[in-house]
Structure 1
Amino acid sequence: MGKKVTLKEQAAFFTSLADMLQAGFSLKKSLLNVKLLDPKLQNKVEKIITQLSLGATFSQTVEPWVSKQTYFQIKMAEQHGNLEQAIKELGKFLFRLNEQLQKLKGLLLYPLMLLVLLAGLCTSIKIWLVPKLTAFSNVVDPGQSVPFFKDPVHLVKGAITICLLAVIMYLSKVIHWWVKQKSLTRHVWYAQLPILGQLYRLYCAYIITFDLSLLFQCGLDIQQICLYLRDFKKNSIYYQLGYELDAALNQGSEVEDFILRYSFIPHELLFFLNNGDTKEEMSKELAIFSQNSYRNLLRGSERLLTWVQPLLFLVIAAIIIGTYLAILLPLYSSIGGIY
């Protein structure tokens, strides 16, 4: 596939491919059927089939156009014989993610239109109305000069300028810090964000427990999982988790201490690891927990979406009030000068 593939196309591809694999077709036959059923994906699927015939793995063929997380999940499942299940989960997740993004776009459309109209109104006021108000004020009392700290218009402009400078400085500092951090530190930071952090923790709980379910199903233990994760790229979260966990175990630490160290790792894993179940039983339990985390993630995102429009309308209301103040305060000062 090309490097620019939309989320909608990815969701359609993985969903259709999962349906074909579940129907009992081989990977190559499933890809051929997907190509026939969805003409939009025809050229992309042909490239995958060509690369597969040249000896590439499925994960290698899709790596250029999917996220790192998606690629690692496919690679992990491919190496341990769970490709069909992983593709099914990816198709379901990407399909719902695309639905959520489309819903968010629909919620943003009306407020953004209002913001555009307000921007036009504010620009018109700045270009045509403010100069006339200034001229009127000068006519009323040409010799009077208002100190900066007593002029409400200047005070509002100064406050807005200071706030913008503070926000820009803070964002610059955050970006500088973020670029220098490892993947583990970034994930911890994501998980601690207000509001969005809870959703990110649910997403991590869904992904981590799903991947662990696949690995336990293949009979791997914790030490073997560490070694397996070390095979990924060094800048990936999988490699860094495997490296840190292996180092902690070699120093005599417990897995429980490692889990509690990182906020994005679901602490419910402690229950599954200390329950005394077999690897097969843990695999099934983690799969159930992963699905439950996925459902909680959907519910949380739905609740968050309900707050998008009210918050934007509050911003619009603040802009309207600020616009009225920008008009009325100079008029008030001028009228006060007349009396």
Structure 2
Amino acid sequence: MQWISKLFRKKHVKPIKSFSSHDRVLFFQELGELLQSGYSLAQSLDILASAHLKWQDRLNQIIDDLNHGIKLHIALEPHANHQIILQIKLADQHGNLSQTLVAIGQSLAKLQQQENKVAQVMRYPLILLGILGLMLVGLKYFLFPILNQWQNETTTVDALNHTYAYLFIGTVVLLLFGVCMIWRSHTPRQRLILLVHIPIIGKIVETITTYQVAQQLAISLASGVTVPEILDDISHSHKKDMAVALVKHARQSLEKGETIEAYVLKQPYLNRSLAGYFARGHEPRVLADYLAYYAKTQFQLLMQQTDRLIGTLQPLFFGIIGLAIVGLYMSMLLPMYQSIGGLYQ
């Protein structure tokens, strides 16, 4: 009868804006803590609606869905990705909902911290490139016209400079177009393998993937299900994101008789140390505890790698910008010297 609930939801539910990243973290953490404190699901949602006025429309919609017989994981579909929805579904079926919701909130908080680190890495080059672009615009539209008034014969030089600039820009555009075409021709898993083999960022990509795999498995295994069952549930998704692609590839390998530890050792985007946890034959809940601790160590490693990357990129980009500034000054001063020299001839 679950399809009837979904049909009712599609026909009678007004679209509600999803939670922001920050609000999503708070929602799952606080909902799990309220459930752990002994409140029912309806009471917990009502308390959250009273405590967070800006969430009232979303929470009232979730409460209305539950009142019409819709399962919690379906009611939360607009507010979470497929992996989180699956974790909530398994936890609800095996009676581990409150602990799973708290773990999801903590995992989302770490992912948000990870995204902030990546944004911090990208912020410096973007700001510096923006400054360089402003300098180029200023030279082109303010300084060079003044210099052209001093020197009549600069027209040919300017035309030549413009030709070189257009050739450079055209080459960059063609290279970017070629990279985009190659990127789109690959599957999500092949793209991940390409990223892993890129110098400097490859190790960070490997750590991110290992952390997310360990964390997601830890949350799901805490419900008592096995790894093959988790892979089977996720692989039925029709979404074409990275996680589903990796799960489908892993499921195909396991169906051919390959062990989990052997599969992990073969994947270039997973840390080889992860395989050891599957070779010991632990029960799902025990394995979940080990993987949760391992995920914490991987997250700490990720923060260290990101800090080192930031420390490397900062002087590198400052050096590039410094050379660009010197080149701009040369392009500015040389015509001035030529003009001044022409006045004395």
Residues 1:64 and 2:68 are matched in the alignment: no
Distance 2:118 2:230 in 1: 38
Distance 1:222 1:110 in 2: 41
- TM-score, with length taken from structure 2: 0.76
Partner of 1:128: 142
Aligned-pair CA distance for 1:111: 8.4
Using a 3 Å threshold, how does the CA distance of structure 1 residues 8 and 134 change in structure 2: closer, same or farther?
Answer: same
Distance 2:124 2:232 in 1: 51
Distance 2:252 2:208 in 1: 26
Using a 3 Å threshold, how does the CA distance of structure 1 residues 79 and 110 change in structure 2: closer, same or farther?
Answer: same
Partner of 2:171: 166
Residues 1:198 and 2:203 are matched in the alignment: yes
Matches within 5 A, 1:308-323: 310=315, 313-323=318-328
Secondary structure (helix, strand or coil) at the match of 1:299 reads helix
Partner of 1:293: 298
Distance 2:76 2:294 in 1: 28
Moved more, 302-311 or 327-336: 302-311
Distance 1:250 1:104 in 2: 36
Distance 1:98 1:316 in 2: 30
Distance 2:239 2:227 in 1: 19
Using a 3 Å threshold, how does the CA distance of structure 1 residues 284 and 120 change in structure 2: closer, same or farther?
Answer: closer
Aligned-residue Cα RMSD (Å) equals 3.7
Matches within 5 A, 1:55-204: 55-98=69-112, 119-138=133-152, 160-204=165-209
Residues 1:44 and 2:49 are matched in the alignment: no
Unpaired runs of at least 5, structure 1: none
Using a 3 Å threshold, how does the CA distance of structure 1 residues 310 and 53 change in structure 2: closer, same or farther?
Answer: farther
Q: What amino acid is the match of 1:91?
A: G
Moved more, 237-246 or 10-19: 237-246
Using a 3 Å threshold, how does the CA distance of structure 1 residues 281 and 249 change in structure 2: closer, same or farther?
Answer: same
Secondary structure (helix, strand or coil) at the match of 1:268 reads helix
Q: What amino acid is the match of 2:277?
A: F
Secondary structure (helix, strand or coil) at the match of 2:272 reads coil
Distance 1:45 1:98 in 2: 22
Aligned-pair CA distance for 1:103: 7.6
Secondary structure (helix, strand or coil) at the match of 2:151 reads helix
Aligned-pair CA distance for 1:289: 0.8
Deviations 1:149-187 (Å, cap 9, x if unpaired)? Answer: xx6x77766655444333322322232233343332233
Q: What amino acid is the match of 2:196?
A: A
Using a 3 Å threshold, how does the CA distance of structure 1 residues 78 and 194 change in structure 2: closer, same or farther?
Answer: farther
Distance 1:307 1:73 in 2: 38
Residues 1:330 and 2:332 are matched in the alignment: no
Residues 1:2 and 2:16 are matched in the alignment: yes
Distance 2:329 2:210 in 1: 48
Using a 3 Å threshold, how does the CA distance of structure 1 residues 14 and 272 change in structure 2: closer, same or farther?
Answer: same
Secondary structure (helix, strand or coil) at the match of 2:38 reads coil
Deviations 1:278-297 (Å, cap 9, x if unpaired)? Answer: 44432321121122222323
Using a 3 Å threshold, how does the CA distance of structure 1 residues 266 and 327 change in structure 2: closer, same or farther?
Answer: same
Residues 1:209 and 2:214 are matched in the alignment: yes
Partner of 1:262: 267
Secondary structure (helix, strand or coil) at the match of 2:60 reads helix
Matches within 5 A, 1:7-18: 7-18=21-32
- TM-score, with length taken from structure 1: 0.77
Unpaired runs of at least 5, structure 2: 1-14
Q: What amino acid is the match of 1:87?
A: L
Deviations 1:213-265 (Å, cap 9, x if unpaired)? Answer: 34444444454444333333353445444433343244444434422332223
Using a 3 Å threshold, how does the CA distance of structure 1 residues 61 and 311 change in structure 2: closer, same or farther?
Answer: farther
Tell whether the 8 Å contact from 2:196 to 2:202 is kept in structure 1 after alignment.
yes
Aligned-pair CA distance for 1:271: 0.9
Q: What amino acid is the match of 1:274?
A: A
Deviations 1:133-152 (Å, cap 9, x if unpaired)? Answer: 123222xxx5x997xxxx6x
Moved more, 7-16 or 295-304: 295-304
Q: How many positions carry a matched residue from both structures?
A: 330
Please point out which of 42, 53, 57 is paired with 1:28: 42
Distance 1:76 1:267 in 2: 28
